[in-house]
Amino acid sequence: MSRLNDLSDLGQSIWYDDIRRSFITSGELKALIEEGLRGVTSNPSIFEKAINGSSDYDEAIRGLVEMEKSVQEIYEGLVFDDIARAADLMRSVYESTQGADGYVSLEVSPTLAHDTKGTIAEARRLFKVLARPNVMIKVPATPAGIPAIEKLIASGININVTLIFNLDHYRSVAEAYLKGLERRLADHGDISKVASVASFFISRVDTAVDQVLTSLENKDLQGKIAIANAKIAYDTFKQIFSGSRWEKLTAGGAHVQRPLWASTGTKNPEYPDTLYVDQLIGPDTVNTLPPATLNAFREHGSVARTLTKKIEEAEAQLAQLENLGVDLKSITQKLQKEGLQAFAESFKTLMASIRHKQDLLLAKD
């Protein structure tokens, strides 16, 4: 048994937070699936790094340029191919888990983060073009994204809600999911085939909060707030997905919207490299790991149910942070804004790079 399968036995699925052409074609993804990997996530920064940071796509770009495709069409040709290939490899996981896992996520354009109608239209287009039941469309938990999530769930589209940093974000996301299911059920739609995860970002919270704590000369809470934040979110998840309202949906075949721990690579070298895996293990959750963190966990990670332990301690830590005058809500709102900006910049850089390669190839002709 691998550690990935050991985690599955505890109710947690490990997904891979990276994608690139050679990872798929070399057989590496297939091998990880056989070891127990249960999904793949992507974002604009991942694709920017994959396409600009390797020669994997040069031949494909050349072919698309020769077909006189536009920059947007070249971008989509590359990305759609990767997502489709990965989803096809993951299809066996999707089927063996009855749709619980085996998903590959693709994000809507970050330029639409504040455009509800644009997000809905784009998500529908992406889901239709990819035409695979185990694709999830990523939508950010912005004020414009929340109503889009409800509408898309009601339409039967799998959604990975991204850039969740605080409890207010999370509650809004969970409510949008429930309302979407209720609308679909009221319209006599099948809710048993609709899947969603709520991607709650972890390490970036510690990075930001630790900076403030350092300025306050407080070391006691450093490296603890992100995990405390996640534990309270998970406790909230258990409360939301229980009771009469939820029971009506489960009677129709609904699946819980699992919390997905994202940004779980350890950024502070003084912290254990599997900190945000070892401390966030619990039922009905997903942890999407970047390559280095996945490898570290496969080698020496700890497998034990930790997410439901020391909840009172987590509450006390958050209360202590507030007593120090540290506004976690303000910090996390800023983190979401910065995350959106980072994805937008990566998308802009990637499109500029494709345009440059297109110009070079056309000049040679």
In three-state secondary structure terms, 79 is helix
Share of the chain above pLDDT 70, in %: 99
> Which residues, in sequence order, are bridge partners of residue 139?
161
- Tell me how far apart the alpha carbons of residues 285 and 277 are, in angstroms, rounded to a whole number: 11
CB atoms within 10 A of CB 278: 17
Tell me if 196 sits within 8 A of 160, measured CB to CB: yes
In three-state secondary structure terms, 199 is strand
Question: What does the pLDDT average to over 134-153?
Answer: 98
CB atoms within 10 A of CB 310: 15
- Domains of the chain, start order: 3-364 (3.20.20.70)
Write down the residue that tokens 């989509």 correspond to: 76
Question: What does the pLDDT average to over 24-47?
Answer: 97
Give the pair of three-digit tokens for residue 224.
């603890």
Q: Residue 361: pLDDT above 90?
A: no
Tell me if 283 sits within 8 A of 10, measured CB to CB: yes
pLDDT tens digits along 286-306? 999 999 999 999 999 999 999
- Tell me how far apart the alpha carbons of residues 355 and 365 are, in angstroms, rounded to a whole number: 15
To the query of whether residue 138 is one of the catalytic residues in this protein, the response is yes
Question: Mean pLDDT over all residues of the chain?
Answer: 96
* Dihedral, CA of residue 49, residue 52, residue 55 and residue 56, to nearest 10: 50
Query: 114-132: buried (b, 16+ CB within 10 Å) or exposed (e) per residue?
Result: ebbebbbebbeebbeebeb
Question: What does the pLDDT read at residue 253?
Answer: 97
pLDDT tens digits along 332-350? 999 999 999 999 999 999 9
**CA-to-CA separations, 247 to 46, 244, 252, in angstroms, rounded:** 38, 5, 9
Tell me if 198 sits within 8 A of 167, measured CB to CB: no
Q: Residue 247: pLDDT above 70?
A: yes
**Choice among 69, 138, 151, 179 that is catalytic:** 138
Give the pair of three-digit tokens for residue 251.
């009677």
pLDDT tens digits along 214-228? 999 999 999 999 999
Q: Residue 365: pLDDT above 70?
A: no
> Which residues, in sequence order, are bridge partners of residue 287?
14, 261
Question: What does the pLDDT read at residue 265?
Answer: 97
* Dihedral, CA of residue 345, residue 349, residue 352 and residue 354, to nearest 10: -130
Give the pair of three-digit tokens for residue 60.
């494909």
Q: Residue 205: pLDDT above 70?
A: yes
In three-state secondary structure terms, 285 is strand
